Amino acid sequence: MIIDFHTHTFPARISADVLAKLSRLSHTKYFTNGSVPDLTASMEEASIDYSVNLPVMTSAEQVEKVNGALIADRDRLFEQGIITFGGMHPGYGDYKKELIRLKENGILGIKIHPAYQSTEIDDIRMMRIIDAASDLGLIVLTHAGIDIGIYDHNYTSVQQVLKIIDEVRPPKFVLAHMGGWGCWEDVERDLLGAPVWFDTAFAIGPITPDDAKSGAPYLNTNLTEDAFMRIVRKHGADQILFATDSPWESQKDYVARIEAMPLDKEEKEMIFSGNARKLLHI
């Protein structure tokens, strides 16, 4: 079994505009059109059994409407192999009530994205959301490290993450992009062994540029094979979740990248699905 713990889909009416904008900001190519049918076709090609869909709330006004739509579509999406999380924004007022609504409707976790929400992850509003979600048993998955499209400020540094771990102690805390994209020295020095999961999304192998922007910064930032293996071995393969960040990576290519790593059979099983099955109760 393979579970992709980090994917994105968008409503059909806005997907083209969203992908064009994000591609322009990040200077990177996208591999699906952002729709559910395109994601499921990608999953079939890559032999992926389940993908976790992560909504990113870029405004507080989106929270109730987007979460409501995902709740309504939860069962239909699951039939297609898509497990949808909810989302939260630090500017949303009644976050506890909304988190309870997600929990009561079978949503297993939430996504936060400090960079696209222009809020430090150790802002008290973020900390309260993480704490409340954790009290409900929800998984909290956050973007971690620099964002390739917003690279002038790091809203989720390793030191900020350590503050969350120390003060909030979230039991199901997932850091995207191997703990902190582009902050690999900090991750290796300070974060390995901490009680958090890392997902592999958009962190290993070559970044595929938009051809028109091939000279853009940060295109050579991903982990080398040696660095990836050091992190896995020191942090523990039992705390690593296979993830791609589709549509920003090819799921089929990303499966091949993990398969090519010098991991043993047990480590690959844990990374590809074993760890995710425990978190997702599959």
**14-42 average pLDDT score:** 92
Listed in sequence order, the residues at least 6 apart from 128 whose beta carbon sits closer than 8 Å to its beta carbon are 95
Residue 214 has what pLDDT? 59
Residue with tokens 């430090």: 120
For residue 213, pLDDT over 60 is answered with no
For residue 281, pLDDT over 70 is answered with yes
Residue 14 has what pLDDT? 87
For residue 239, pLDDT over 70 is answered with yes
Radius of gyration in angstroms for the set of CA atoms belonging to the chain, rounded to a whole number: 17
pLDDT cut 70: percent of the chain above it: 98
Residue 163 has what pLDDT? 98
CA dist 231 → 202, 216, 273 (Å): 15, 27, 18
Burial class (CB in 10 A: 0-12, 13-18, 19+), 211: exposed
Mean pLDDT computed over every residue of the chain: 95
What tens digit of pLDDT does each residue of 91-146 get?
999 999 999 999 999 999 999 999 999 999 999 999 999 999 999 999 999 999 99
Residue 166 has what pLDDT? 98
Distance CA 271, CA 262 (A): 13
Distance CA 18, CA 199 (A): 23
> To the nearest 10°, the Cα dihedral for 154, 156, 159, 162?
180
User: How would residue 216 be classed by pLDDT, with cut points 50, 70 and 90?
Assistant: low
> To the nearest 10°, the Cα dihedral for 175, 30, 107, 193?
-10
For residue 222, pLDDT over 90 is answered with yes
Distance CA 265, CA 271 (A): 10
Report residue 137 CA to chain centroid gap. 18
Residue 209 has what pLDDT? 86
User: How would residue 41 be classed by pLDDT, with cut points 50, 70 and 90?
Assistant: very high
What tens digit of pLDDT does each residue of 250-270 get?
999 999 999 999 999 999 999
Q: Is the pTM of this model over 0.85?
A: yes
**172-182 average pLDDT score:** 98
pLDDT cut 90: percent of the chain above it: 87
**41-46 average pLDDT score:** 98
User: Which helix (DSSP H) or strand (DSSP E) does residue 179 occupy?
Assistant: none
For residue 15, pLDDT over 90 is answered with no
Distance CA 131, CA 182 (A): 26
**Cβ neighbours around 271 below 10 Å, total:** 27
